Every structure is written in C-alpha cells, then in structure tokens.
Amino acid sequence: MSTGTTKLNVVVSDVVPVNELVTRFHFRRRDGELLPTFSGGAHVVVEMRDGNRTRLNPYSLMGSPLDTREYTISVRRDDAGRGGSLFMHRQVKPGLEMVISYPVNLFSLDLRAKKHLMLAGGIGITPFMAQTSQLAGAGGNFELHYTCRTASLGTYADVLQQRYGNRVRLYHDDREERIDLDRLLSSQPLGTHLYVCGPAGMINWVRDRAAALGWPPETVHFEHFAAPQPGAPFDVTLAVSGKTIRVGEQQSLLEAIETAGVDPPYLCRGGVCGQCETNVISSDGKFIHNDHWLSEEDHRSGCKIMPCVSRFEGKSLVLER
Amino acid sequence: MGITFRKETFRDDYTFRNSPEHIRRFPFPFNEDSYMYAVNIEPHVVGPKGSVLENLIDVDEHYVAEMQDRALVLAEDPLRCQSLPHMTLAGWDLLELLMEQQALGYPEHFTLERNGDRWRWINRPLGIDDTFTFGDTSTLPYGPMEYITRQSQGDFCILDQRDGNLWMDAGMVTTQADWSLDFDIGMNFFEWHAPVPLAHEKGIFTRALKFLTNIQQGKPARRLNWTMTINPRLDTSPENYHKWGPDRATVTPENVGQKVHLRVELQSFWRLPRSNAIVFPIRCYLIKMDELVTQPKWARRLHRVIRDLPEELATYKGLTRYRPTLVEWLSKLDDGSPTSPGFGPD
C-alpha cells in the first residue's frame, strides 16, 4: 500500500511578512471544518503548482497544536534554491487554493523527559514554536536557546521572549554571541532531552559535543530536512516501469520520477524518513548522496539512493523503479 | 434501528452465542485453503454494510456482555490496565478517537457533545452520561485510557514511538490470546514479539516495524490474526492459565462443535495526533465450530488449513492437544470440492 499521506484541501487565509527573509502563511480548510490535530514538531508537505511544474516541499507547523482552526508555516526565502521558497514568496497570496498533506511528525517530543532543552538555529526555530506551545499548555519544563544572524533576522524571537521570558535565550552572530555549549550540556538535570534544529553544521556540532559529554544517543533529537540541491542534469533508466528519464538542473530525482508517472512512496522529501529509498540496479558514475537516512556503508556501496535529495553524475544509472 | 445486545457470559456457564446475522458477518481469516504468516496489512477503510468493517470501530451484539466481563477481570486483577506516566496524553487521544468513532457509527447508542474543552459523553447501552473537561484527568472517574476502554470492545495497546522503535507503554488487555500486558509493559517491538516462531527468520518484524512507525494520521491500517480457544472465554491470559489451560484436554469428538472456537483478532493501527503514539486495538471475535460450519465453504476451508498447519505454528497457537480430534471432526464436512476465492461465505 502507498505510505503517502492523506491530502487536505486548504485556502491561504493570510500571508504575513515577518522580516526581510521570512514570510508566514496561514491555511484554513476550504470546507470550513477544523484541521486535524497535530503534535509539536510535525510538518506538512505543501504542493506548489507553478505553471506545469509541481514542487512538494515540507514545512514545520509552527502554530499551537491546541488551535486547529488554521495551520501556519514560515518560509525563508532562498534565492539560490530550486525555486520553491521563491514561489511561496512571490506567487502565494491570500485566497489561493492549495493542497497540503496531513501532518507528519518526524521530530517528536519525548514525553518521558523531565526537561526539554531546545537549540534552534535560524529558520530551525519553526518546530520549536509548536513544541513550546504544546509544552507550555501542559505545564512542561523547557528551555530554548536560539541563535540568529542579527536581531532583525531573529524570526519570532520577540514573540518567544514575550511568551516565555527567561526560558528563552538569544544569541546574535553579528554581536559575536555564542552558546557556551559544553557548559550548557554539562549542567542539565538528569532526564533532560536535547532537541536541535538548524543548519547541518550546527546539528553536527551539537550532536558531536553531546556524544563527547556522555549524553545517551536516545536523548538527543534532531531534525534536518535537506532541501534538494540543484545540479547538472542526468539521465536515469527506470527498470521496473521501463522508462528513461532526464533529471533537470532544478529538479530532484524524485520529482523527475513522479513526472514520468511513477509514484514512489514519500513522507518528508528531505532525506530523513526513508520512504522513497530506491535500489540501484547498475551504475557507471558518481553518486551525490545528500540524505540522512542511508548509512555510510550504504552510500559507499552504490546500491541504494534516496531520490528525494540525492543526485548522480556519470554515464548511466539504472534504478529499480 | 439499534443493536439488540445479548445477555451472555464468557465464563462459568458460557452462554455466549452468535446470532445468525453475526455468524455471517464473522471475520473469517482465511482467503485460501492454507495458512502461513505474511505481512497481511491493508488500509483500514470502511468495508461493506453488514460486515465487521462497516464502521472502523465495530460495536456488536456482544458489547454489553464483553464490558461486564472486562469489569470482572479488572476487579480481580487491576494490572490488566496500565499506563506509564508519559502516556496520559496518548490516553486522551484514544478517548477522543473511540468516542468520535462510536458516536459516528452508532448514533442511537452513543452521543458526544463538545463545547470547547467541556465534553459530554452519553453511552446508552451502559447507562453512562458524563460531562468532563478534555485534558483534565481529575474530571473523570478513571484515567482517560481506562475510562474509555472500559466502554470499548477489544484490547488496546498504546505504543510510544521513539528511537526508531515502538514501546508498549500503556494498555487495557483483558481479552488476550495468552499474553500479558504486565509482562510486556515497557518492552519494545522486538522484545514483545520474541516468542513468535518462524516470523523472525522471515524478517517479518523488521518490515512490520518499518511500516508501523510510518503509519500516518488519518490513514489507519489493519490485519487479521487468529488462534483457537476452548470454550468462549475472552480472558485467556497467562495469569489465569490454570483456569483455561486444562480445558484443552477436554475436547472429545462429541463436544468439538460446542467447545472449540475459532478466535479471530481484527488488529488495527492508528496514529494518535497529540502524542504521536500508535494505538493498536486488538478486537477479538469468537465463533464456535457448530456456528462456523453452518457456512459449508468455511467448514471445508478450515479443515484444510488446520490439517496442513506447520507443526511450529500449531504448537505456538496451542492446538497440539486437540488438533487430531478437530481435524477428524471437520474432515466429515469436507467433500473435497473446491472453495471459492476470498474470505466470505458462499
């Protein structure tokens, strides 16, 4: 059976510029009903119909899970990306009818935690907006450390400080403020769980330090959706469906497979959930693996690829699709 | 037109029966003349009218009697219902799911009124009319999971999802086929399945876990499982083995039709929205051989399945002792003619 999600027909109810890079989008159901309840850390996949192109991008839900009249997401404009964020910023206006997926949570709170220690970098703040709302409503114990480039790019920093006071600590790169990570990680009460969402470098740094300081791996949670990167076009043979396709420069391999009428399962489209894992039948060239799902061994073997984020350079690639 | 709830027992004098309509809606689990494990999971969507899939949470003529039997089990052994401290939110999720589904499917028997956090729940078959605050445990007579599962047929396991695994961290288990919540509580998916033969070698649990951890909200899934039980006893637990285990030695050619029951579990899997946990309802359906063989196709097919069942599976399901007697009894109803494809009776 397909493991994709059920779709929701929504209308854009509001578009709010937050700062020079980030815009917030509000969605309501077209039939006026309530949206499904979700849990803090969940994302939805937004379908963007851009001319004859369809992009499917995941965004964290950042509203309170206690309020399901509308969903909100925040999109950071990426001028060098494949165009999804530019489409959202330029084309999406209030009243536009869109399709989004049911919420999926791959970055769930561990409700056994005595304390939730959250580290956000940049737009990685969005899942914590929902998680802090959920915890605050239930009297949960949390502390949020949020690094942003400048005060004006500290998306929702003001809202968070207003809501939670000194449970939120801000660090501004332009003022050379840095988290004293080792001290922070060394001074937590037993039973604390650590959550990190932000750029890959930050996630790796936090995970490495946590491991070095003896944090059990099951207490360290991270979410990093890799956006698919553009790259040189390449050709692929889909052996099961008997098709040969070309993956365009601005297209992901998964999108090219879907355009050819083949529908692999997916959930996150960011190299995390493992749903679209695909076997390689043969290849002559170099894989560009960008996912967080396959093991290093899998990457070296050349036998598997995650088509949502990974690419290929070389003479031939045959996939079991 | 409501359900006529039967007055019957699942212990002592065993007055449990299926009405003729309930015999025909029985979820017969074999779609061919042999049985082997498979990851037989499919989407849990509404099925034909008059089947057990007519509603996603099925309520049938045994509802009131099953709830009375559950109360008796809990009075003797409160550890059949357990919820670790971090699972209360999932309990509220389950309460919402079961109230919504029962009110949706059986409006003449159940009503749910919501006014923000203030909810009113009317359960007419059990004579309950409670108003409470959703999310506030102090406004209910039990924790949310215990409250609603004392009013819902079937066992319920709530599985917390973390570290790429599922953990049996809460449940209400009183109608089980020889397993114990008190023993399994806190175990992960591989730990609680450790006793199952053959399936590990086939990699079934690795694949099943991968599937289950990806179950999405709004897209529940289901599968059927089966075993056999002597006498229509719902509570065949390890804790009470001394009460039902010896029954397996009492099967004779004369009493097969009345004593031997096919026990089918309709298992479903649902993502819970607030807690991100999975709830795993295990709904038990019983049918005695005399009732089952009123459908000639089922009689022929069950004969072939039980006769050809691999020895390990027969042992695991506890059939060894009476299998020859049962096969001999069923063989008289199998003229060797072909059976039609599919599960349903002809």
- Residue B136 tokens, joined: 């506030």
| Same domain flag for A120 and A214 | yes
- Is the pLDDT confidence value at A4 over 70? no
What chain A residue is nearest to B90 in terms of C-alpha separation? A111
CA distance B275 to chain A (A): 6
Q: How far apart are CA B134 and CA B144, in angstroms?
A: 9
Q: Is position A83 within any domain?
A: yes
- Is the pLDDT confidence value at A5 over 90? no
Q: Chain B residues with CB inside 8 Å of A64's CB?
A: none
Q: How far apart are CA B69 and CA B286, in angstroms?
A: 14
The total number of structural domains in chain A stands at: 3
**Would you please indicate which residues of B are annotated as catalytic (active-site) residues?**
223
End-to-end CA distance of chain B: 27
Q: Using an 8 Å Cβ cutoff, are B15 and B8 in contact? A: yes
Q: How far apart are CA B70 and CA A55, in angstroms?
A: 51
Q: Compute CA distances B33 → B57, B204, B331, whole Å.
A: 29, 22, 13
pTM for the whole thing? 0.88
| Same domain flag for A70 and A21 | yes
CATH number at residue A77: 2.40.30.10
Residues in Cβ contact with A312 at an 8 Å cutoff, skipping those fewer than 6 apart: A234, A236, A247, A253, A283, A285, A286, A287, A288, A305
| Same domain flag for A126 and A96 | no
What chain B residue is nearest to A113 in terms of C-alpha separation? B86
Q: Chain A residues with CB inside 8 Å of B43's CB?
A: 1
Instruction: Give the end of a domain, one of A76, A105, A134.
Output: A105
Give the one of B43, B161, B221 whose C-beta lies nearest to A108's C-beta.
B161
| Tally of helices (H runs) and strands (E runs) in chain B | 13, 10
- Is the pLDDT confidence value at A254 over 60? yes
Q: Is position A110 within any domain?
A: no
Per residue of chain B (346 residues), give pLDDT as tens.
689 999 999 999 999 999 999 999 999 999 989 887 666 778 899 999 999 999 999 999 999 999 999 999 999 999 999 999 999 999 999 999 999 999 999 999 999 999 989 999 999 999 999 999 999 999 999 999 999 999 999 999 999 999 989 999 999 999 998 899 999 999 999 999 888 777 666 677 887 888 888 888 988 999 999 999 999 999 999 999 999 989 999 999 999 999 999 999 999 999 999 999 999 999 999 999 999 999 999 999 999 999 999 998 899 899 999 999 999 999 999 999 999 988 888 8
What pLDDT is stored for residue A3 in this prediction?
42
Q: Is B161 on the interface with A (CB under 8 A)?
A: yes
| Same domain flag for A136 and A92 | no
Q: Chain A residues with CB inside 8 Å of B273's CB?
A: 36-39, 103
Query: What's the domain range around B179?
Result: 20-331
Instruction: Give the end of a domain, one of A204, A223, A242.
Output: A223
Q: Is position B250 within any domain?
A: yes
CATH number at residue A249: 3.10.20.30
Q: Is position B8 within any domain?
A: no
The total number of structural domains in chain B stands at: 1
| Same domain flag for A126 and A209 | yes
Q: Is position B15 within any domain?
A: no
| Same domain flag for A214 and A241 | no
Q: How far apart are CA A185 and CA A205, in angstroms?
A: 12
| Same domain flag for A124 and A76 | no
User: Would you call B163 and A104 a contact, using CB atoms and an 8 Å cutoff?
Assistant: no
Q: Is B165 on the interface with A (CB under 8 A)?
A: no
Q: Give the number of beta-carbon pairs within 8 Å between A and B.
A: 62
Q: Is position B278 within any domain?
A: yes
Residues in Cβ contact with A273 at an 8 Å cutoff, skipping those fewer than 6 apart: A104, A106, A266, A267, A293, B214
Q: Is position B228 within any domain?
A: yes
Q: Is position A2 within any domain?
A: no
What pLDDT is stored for residue B205 in this prediction?
82
| Same domain flag for A132 and A97 | no
Residue A285's beta-bridge partner residues? A314
Q: Using an 8 Å Cβ cutoff, are A291 and A310 in contact? A: yes
Q: Is position B9 within any domain?
A: no
Q: Is A38 on the interface with B (CB under 8 A)?
A: yes
Query: What's the domain range around A50?
Result: 7-105
Give A260: exposed, middle or buried? Use CB within 10 Å, 0-12, 13-18, 19+.
middle
CATH number at residue A203: 3.40.50.80
Q: Can you tell me the mean pLDDT for A215-237?
A: 89
- φ/ψ of residue B314, rounded to 5: -60, -40
Q: Is position B342 within any domain?
A: no
| Same domain flag for A182 and A216 | yes
Give the one of B85, B162, B273 whose C-beta lies nearest to A38's C-beta.
B273
